Structures are given as structure tokens and as C-alpha cells.
Amino acid sequence: MLIFKNNIYDRHEFGLSQYSKTQDIEYDESFNPLNLLSVAIEEEKDVLDFLKRQPIEYWPEDSRKFYPQAHKAGNQLIFCNLLNTLKEGLDDRDTWYTMNTYHFCFIYDLLARFTFNYNHDNTEGRLNLLPEIKGKPLQIGLFIKDYLFNTVFLMNEDKYNSLSHDEKAEMGYDCPCQFAVINGLAPTKKEMELKIFQGYPYSIYV
């Protein structure tokens, strides 16, 4: 199970008051972050299969187009490994896993593109993907706000590198591998792995 800022496996665990609200109460009550991520990951398999079939000379351009943030630190092989790792962690209901900035950055790009395609689809297409929200537009900005710890990977390297350690800590930028992602360093095999978390990651006190 993947650890986000809030529990994607049980959105109602501590009530809905802790989440960002839309003007649509029905959407807020029926939105299922776990299903969103599961469906988006399945869709991403097709995207990567498509990219792998393209001539190799198109890969750099395709990577920038499909992964606006993650392309600096990855390639198709890395993206395939990250996708498989996230899929395995998401589906493993016996163990909690922490992620690093490589994972969060990849998830961000994946969900941003999925949302664009979903919101531009017709009602039938939307219902086939996320039937629980009944064809309504996907409010991905609220998912990013409620479930990602931060979006430090959106910062350019000059701005990030100019910050002191204390400034980064004050802004909540303390996720592992953030320097590497922002500065375009490819992940090692170990950095693409999830880390096992012992215990329960969410506070029982509300």
C-alpha cells in the first residue's frame, strides 16, 4: 500500500472534513482516489507500450511531451520500472510503502495527462473509466493538494538550488531524492524501489 499525505485506501477513515471541497457534494462523497490511481496506472501501460513502438529517434521528444516534469531524470526504461513498482506497491495490501520524489513526480505527470484526456472525453468514455463520479469533470488539483506531500519537483533547478537547507525544510521540501529529480539525475535501481514502512502511517488522533 502506497503512503500519501492522506489514506487513498480509506477516504472516509477520518471523515471528509479534512479534504478540499468542490461545490458538488455528490462528487466529494463519491470520489475514489484509489480507483483513480489504479485506472490511471492501467492506462499508462498502454501509453508506454505505444511509446516503445515509436522509432528510437523520437523518444527524447516523446518523453518531454508525455512526461513534462519527469523526463529530465528518466527515460522509457525508467518509466516502465517506476510504473511496475508503483503498481506492485499499490496492490500489495499487506505492507505499507513510502515513496520518494521520483515516484511522486512520475505520478504527477501520469495523473495530469490522464485528467486532460478524461476531461476531454465524452460522457460514455468518462463513465467507463471512473463510473463513481458519474461522468463529472475530474478535479485533479484537489487530489494533488490532498494526497501529495508537496510538488517541489515543479520548481526549476536554479530556484531550488538557491534555497538554503533551512528554507527547504520550512517550505516542507524534505522528500528523499528531490535534489536528484529537480537537477535531472537518473535514479539508481535502489532509488526506484519503494521502502517498507513499519506500523500504521496515519495518525489515529483527529
Delimit the domains of the chain by residue range: 20-151+187-197
Q: Residue 96, SS3?
A: strand
Residue 41 has pLDDT above 90, yes or no: yes
If one counts every other C-beta atom within 10 angstroms of the C-beta of residue 21, the result is 12
Name the phi and psi angles at 87, rounded to 5: -60, -45
Question: How sure is the predictor about 205, in pLDDT bands with cuts at 50, 70 and 90?
Answer: low
pLDDT digits (tens, 9 = 90+) for 72-105: 998 889 999 999 999 999 999 999 999 999 999 9
Query: Rounded mean pLDDT of 95-121?
Result: 97
Measured CA distances, 145 to 20, 66, 134, 180 (Å) = 8, 22, 22, 23
Q: Is the pLDDT higher at 38 or at 16?
A: 38
* Mean pLDDT to the nearest integer, 147-164: 94
Distance CA 136, CA 153 (A): 29
The C-alpha atoms of residue 183 and residue 158 are separated, in whole angstroms, by 9
